[in-house]
Amino acid sequence: MAFGFVFPGQGSQSVGMLAALAPAEEAPIRDTFAEASSVLGYDLWHLIAQGPAERLNSTECTQPAMLAASIATWRLWCSRGGPEPEAVCGHSLGEFSAVVVAGALDFGTAVDLVRFRGRAMQEAVPAGSGAMAAILGLEDAEVIEACREAAQAGGVVEAVNFNSPGQVVIAGEREPVEQAMEAAKRRGAKRAVALPVSVPAHSSLMGSAAQRLGERLATVDFRTPRIRFVSAVDTAAHAEPADLRQLLVRQLASPVRWTDTVRSLAAGGIGTLIECGPGKVLSALNRRIERGLTSLALEDAGSLQAALAAVHA
């Protein structure tokens, strides 16, 4: 059965990530982090292995760390004889990992780009003024209506991540987000949970960051991907380099349509999705979206071997 790779975004990072997957001395891990560190000008492996967590969790550092961890995992997969997937896609930041694995963008270039992306996001909204929250147990339309109700008093709050049925993330200015959380509870939400981030990713407040990223991407060379790349911006496959560039700009201030993207992959013949990167957030979401899908995560040495066995079966 055809399989695809999915790449996680910001939020899946942790100090010590990859430690259970392979030794730091193993070539795919060592070489990937050495390459990233040479671009960044600091020891990225030391940061993810030793912390401090506060620095790793800063958007400017998180984004290259997650990219490098995902690409190191991919290279480890290849070194163990893992075949290329039929399709790749990523959640938010994970789209940069997907584009690199698809062969459309050089890894070193991507490291520099996501560091710039993180900076632009942090600088787009004054510290402490933005917020995000997860709304659990409501239909998408009800969450959208809760945001509209809260925004009527002024301010910005929008549904930005459609992660799975009954799980939608909202983002915007702090007070409107809090008001939308209350409006969602009145509509019967099981939970409305504030997320520990201050950057309202994928909301219209990221417009200035998207513009800056677009100017930067205009100077970057993209190639035609050799693996089918499916975007979570519009759930469609894209092969034109100009389209890839545009999508990576659009996604910064556009909702992540993860539910529809996973359904699109399944409808296109993908029977197994393998999460390539730290954690298993996407695997858990994928199981809730499509029960017929096999969802695996490459989180440690055992799960890596199990996934290799599954695709070779």
Task: Give dist(CA 267, CA 286) in Å, integer.
Answer: 14
Can you tell me the distance from the alpha carbon of 130 to that of 107, in angstroms, rounded to the nearest whole number? Answer: 30
59-79 helix and 27-40 helix, angle to the nearest 10 degrees: 150
List, in sequence order, every residue forming a beta bridge with 294; answer none if it has no partner: 272
The whole-angstrom separation of Cα 87 and Cα 274 is 11
Burial, 312: exposed, middle or buried (Cβ in 10 Å; 0-12, 13-18, 19+)? exposed
Q: Which helix (H) or strand (E) holds 211?
A: helix 207-217
**179 alpha-carbon distance from chain centroid:** 26
Instruction: Please state, in angstroms and rounded to a whole number, the distance separating the CA atoms of residues 175 and 47.
Output: 34
DSSP 206: G
Q: Active-site residue among 92, 164, 264, 295?
A: 92
| Residues paired with 133 in a beta bridge | 170, 194
Q: How many CA atoms lie within 13 A of 22 on its CB side?
A: 21
Q: Among residues 70, 97, 202, 283, which one is catalytic?
A: 202
* Alpha-carbon gap, residue 158 to 171, rounded angstroms: 6
Q: Per DSSP, which regions of 32-123 are E strands?
A: 87-90
Up-side HSE of residue 57: CA atoms within 13 Å toward CB?
11
User: Is 92 an active-site residue?
Assistant: yes
Report the amino acid identity of residue 128: G
C-alpha span between 127 and 138 (Å, rounded):
30
Residues noted as catalytic: 92, 202
